[in-house]
Structure 1
Amino acid sequence: MASPSSDTPAFFISGNFVSTPVLGELEILEDHLLAVNAQGFIAALCPLSSPKAASLLASAEGNEIEHTELPKHSFLLPTFTDLHLHAPQFLYAGTGLDLPLMVWLEKFAFRAEERLDGDEDLAKLVYERLGRRMIECGTGSGLIFGTINPKTNLILASTFLSLGLRAYIGKLSMDQNSSPTYIEPTPSDSLASASSFINSMRSLTSSLPPHRRLVHPVLTPRFVPTCSDELLEGLGELAKKEGVRVQSHMSEARDQVDWVKETRGTGDVEVFERCCLLNSSTTQAHCTFLPQPTIDHLAELGTSIAHCPLSNAYFSSQIFPLRECLDAYIPVGLGSDIAGGYQLDLQVQMRQAVVVARLRDSQVKEDELARREQEGSTSDDETKDLRVSWKESLYLATRGGAMALNENRVGGRFAVGEAFDGQLIQLVDPGTSRGTGSLDFFDLEVGVEGEGALTFEQMMERWWCNGDGRNRKGVWVQGRRLM
């Protein structure tokens, strides 16, 4: 039997489509028809009233092609990408957040990871629940830290592959400054384990068609304190040889930054770059201690950043310079940083990103005003606006995270040729005509449909501020419906 053409629809969805293809810009496509092919890519997207839509629907008549018509006050949004998540730490999320970072790692993180490495049944249970919870939260893709043991990471990969999630999974590499029972003995042992993991991950998906190879290996030096220079240099060479992504933590917390300077004589940015681990295939989490020259340099290198606002509030004494990084065109996405951040839902992270940026803007303006008063300056020059909008945060959670991963045809938007990764958001229950979930305060007679009606954009902002999982009625990854 001949395989279907790449532009032959496997199913249709018609209704409203919302995305942020450009930072700060909301694209609302009302009453459109989307066609998805058998490989899970978008084959067509056009107005429902257009001749093209009529032709597509007419050609499908008699072929029993599924056509889902979305309710009036619903829309499809690209799935979220969690750009920084520790899968084994889901076991204890929301614990010990009063501790300094390095103490917290010793008391909770290393122990949880070691526990899963020693208990396959527990690993399967934790990873299954994590994956299903991600789907419930509308997260279709994740850049994920695993554990030291390659076998445990393959359990993670197999679980997510079975669930249909897109996942970039990293086996931890660490050969110093860890628990005596949770460490790789030598740099060569660590490098051999990382190389073996890459091969095993590729074998896991080698029999699948390319569009179903949704899990990928990522080299993952935990961070500079736990990795010798020899190990980091070897990982840089391995990344180049195998063509795989790299993820780590960088410039996160004061105690971590000071430790690196005391033990290495330089900053961790310089260490990573010297070892060829800062480039367009690298995503670094946190990066709260970044002066402007370093931001500009990272932009030149093409390194992407996972912004974890909730986690940073607990473990960093600085607020991430989000506006400066965006203005420098650094690819930035959002990370939950489970378990440094206690909430897996990226909608929470979006709200936190806006809040902390506004707080930072206010503090910087106050500091500048105090400086001018102290110096007796009469300058009335306005300081840079460091705030971000809800639309920009939505970009970070969708398009921004996808762009940071830089994978072909997975762009966090709705466009012909892109993978169809989407989530269905319902604002109003079509059965009761009441707002869905916590949006039940909608005044439908006046606020949505009557005089003084809310615009679609205003309804979306209300969802962004007040919505929750009750508004999510469907999730697709690579054209496969997961919820």
Structure 2
Amino acid sequence: MFFRGDLVQCPALGQLDILPDYLLEVDDSGFLTHVSPANSPESCKKLDSSSISLTIIPPGSFLLPTFCDLHLHAPQSLYHGTGLHRPLMEWLDEYAFKAEERLDADPILARRVYKCLAERLIENGTGAVSLFGTIKEETNLILAEVMQAAGLRAFVGKLSMDISSRPSYVEASAQESLSAVESFVKNCHALVSHLPEHKRLVEPVITPRFVPSCSDDLLAGLGAMSEAKSLRIQSHLAEAHDQIEWVKRERGVDDIEIFDRHALLTPRTIQAHCTFVDSQSLSLLRTRGTAIAHCPLSNAYFSAKPFPLHEALQTVKVGLGTDVAGGYSLDIMSAMRQSVVVSRMREGSRIMHGTEGGCQHSETCESLSVDWKESLYLATRSGALALNLPRGCGLFTVGSPFDVQYIRVFDAETNLGVGALDFFDAVLSGKSPGLSPEMVEKWWSLGDVRNRAGVWVQGIKLTG
């Protein structure tokens, strides 16, 4: 399988590569075996073959690595877009726990909700996602089945919580919770064990909901299980003021210390939010190799301060999360835009008051803002690194999986932009513009699902 056209990638923070007229070859297992300009001798030799199956990406369009969503609550897509008027701990009681409990009681509804979620993720260009599920094993196995069938890379977490403000939605004890996790891990692996390794897209994730819902015994057991079985871990860290105060009041220390004490900060761990982390906490996360899922929209609703993205990018692995339903949009493009907006507001505060990042002399301090190119890196390559995806994910390089989205920006036949994009100079001149950083930025700013003509994961076309 061959593709010929323009490529866009962000191999490093702040770096945007536009690779014009490249030829890609994808093998039967969905890996790239050739990445080279179409006019190179090797490419020309391949193109001369009459037997190749070639997809042409026309001028005004490009291929881009799929997006990574590092933090999403799958059952909460039942009601996302509502209920965001309460503080975090109240919102969990009133909305989140009820929705999760409802899906645990209704497997037919759970399957319907999860199929819709998978369709929406693909529609929005997400190829890999880290998912929080519910406390019931069977419901999480449904989630894993649906994601595998949809062709998405999905890391599925059965929630662990032996403490709850909702008596009907809690596990009976730390030991019962640990036994349930062990069973889920075994059965989740069994779902894909019959497949070749490159087709095993779903993995289980150790998922203590957050410190307020987990006893020390449960956290200790989860840490030991993760270490013994080399399992991924995901949770929430230093998210909201009321959550942080609860932990300090009940446990006497910050939640990062509790996670670290129980071996839950590892190179296999992703911690969501981290809005209240300081430089010392970031240093600890760096030492442990732990990544952060930055969720700018839900942070705006539930955290009393913005996440220090600029500082974190100098220290740890960071990717983006939608945090449905704490965030109301499944679209990583929205998360990219919001990450830039929040960072610019932090920079404005630094300039006016010197209140961010400990800077008291704004004219001499480093800018706290990030730009659109840096956010595109977060959504693609950086997210892939944070998720520990297969080698090369987020890049066009030989050996990497073909996890790609096909973006249409400009229609060369009509000289018109696609979707919400307009190119007035092209209309007036009658000449099609070549792909440029400005054109990619316009898509970044204004693009939507109308610009996405196809999505592939591991070489399999999922839509378009």
Name the TM-score class by shorter chain: over 0.9
Give the aligned partner of residue 347 of structure 2.
361
Q: 1:441 offset after TM fit, Å?
A: 4.5
Would you say 1:128 and 2:115 are equivalent positions? yes
Looking at structure 2, the residues matched to 95 and 369 of structure 1 have their Cα atoms a distance apart, in angstroms, of: 33
Structure 1 residue ranges without an equivalent (≥5): 1-10
Give the aligned partner of residue 42 of structure 2.
52
| Contact residue 448 and residue 454 of structure 1 kept, 8 A | no
Looking at structure 2, the residues matched to 417 and 348 of structure 1 have their Cα atoms a distance apart, in angstroms, of: 30
Flag the 1:380–1:229 CA change in 2: closer, same or farther, 3 A: closer
Looking at structure 2, the residues matched to 280 and 369 of structure 1 have their Cα atoms a distance apart, in angstroms, of: 32
Give the aligned partner of residue 25 of structure 1.
15
Looking at structure 1, the residues matched to 117 and 430 of structure 2 have their Cα atoms a distance apart, in angstroms, of: 36
CA RMSD of aligned residues (A): 1.7
Looking at structure 1, the residues matched to 248 and 208 of structure 2 have their Cα atoms a distance apart, in angstroms, of: 18
Give the aligned partner of residue 480 of structure 1.
460
Give matches, 1:438-453, under 5 Å.
438-445=420-427, 449=431
Looking at structure 1, the residues matched to 457 and 173 of structure 2 have their Cα atoms a distance apart, in angstroms, of: 39
Give the alignment partner of residue 298 of structure 2, picking from 302, 311, 331.
311
| Contact residue 365 and residue 383 of structure 1 kept, 8 A | no
Would you say 1:218 and 2:218 are equivalent positions? no
Looking at structure 2, the residues matched to 345 and 225 of structure 1 have their Cα atoms a distance apart, in angstroms, of: 29
Equivalent position SS for 1:437: coil
Equivalent position SS for 2:130: strand
Looking at structure 1, the residues matched to 454 and 157 of structure 2 have their Cα atoms a distance apart, in angstroms, of: 28
Looking at structure 2, the residues matched to 233 and 439 of structure 1 have their Cα atoms a distance apart, in angstroms, of: 52
Q: 1:442 offset after TM fit, Å?
A: 4.1
The one-character-per-residue Cα deviations of 1:159-186 (angstroms, maximum 9, x if unpaired) are: 1111111100000000013311110000
Would you say 1:335 and 2:321 are equivalent positions? yes
Give matches, 1:63-462, under 5 Å.
65-328=52-315, 330-368=316-354, 381-409=363-391, 411-445=393-427, 449=431, 456-462=436-442
Give the aligned partner of residue 35 of structure 1.
25
Give the alignment partner of residue 61 of structure 1, picking from 50, 66, 70.
50
| Contact residue 351 and residue 363 of structure 2 kept, 8 A | no
Looking at structure 2, the residues matched to 447 and 473 of structure 1 have their Cα atoms a distance apart, in angstroms, of: 26
Flag the 1:460–1:181 CA change in 2: closer, same or farther, 3 A: same
Equivalent position SS for 1:22: coil
| Contact residue 350 and residue 362 of structure 2 kept, 8 A | no
| Contact residue 392 and residue 399 of structure 2 kept, 8 A | no
Match for 2:449: what amino acid?
G
Looking at structure 2, the residues matched to 181 and 436 of structure 1 have their Cα atoms a distance apart, in angstroms, of: 50
Equivalent position SS for 2:394: coil
Match for 1:36: what amino acid?
V
Q: 1:361 offset after TM fit, Å?
A: 1.0
Flag the 1:121–1:431 CA change in 2: closer, same or farther, 3 A: farther
| Contact residue 171 and residue 219 of structure 1 kept, 8 A | yes
| Contact residue 405 and residue 453 of structure 2 kept, 8 A | yes
Q: 1:381 offset after TM fit, Å?
A: 4.8
The one-character-per-residue Cα deviations of 1:372-401 (angstroms, maximum 9, x if unpaired) are: 9xxxx9x78512200001000000011111
Structure 2 length as normaliser, TM-score?
0.96
Give the aligned partner of residue 465 of structure 1.
445
Flag the 1:224–1:410 CA change in 2: closer, same or farther, 3 A: farther
The one-character-per-residue Cα deviations of 1:96-148 (angstroms, maximum 9, x if unpaired) are: 11100000000000000000001011001100000001000000110010111
Q: 1:365 offset after TM fit, Å?
A: 2.4
Looking at structure 1, the residues matched to 459 and 325 of structure 2 have their Cα atoms a distance apart, in angstroms, of: 30
Match for 1:20: what amino acid?
C
Equivalent position SS for 2:135: coil
Moved more, 291-300 or 94-103: 291-300
The one-character-per-residue Cα deviations of 1:400-436 (angstroms, maximum 9, x if unpaired) are: 1100011332521111101110000001124422100
| Contact residue 448 and residue 455 of structure 1 kept, 8 A | no
Match for 1:47: what amino acid?
P
Structure 2 residue ranges without an equivalent (≥5): none
Give the aligned partner of residue 7 of structure 1.
none
Moved more, 20-29 or 294-303: 294-303
Looking at structure 1, the residues matched to 109 and 390 of structure 2 have their Cα atoms a distance apart, in angstroms, of: 34
Identity %: 51
Structure 1 length as normaliser, TM-score?
0.93
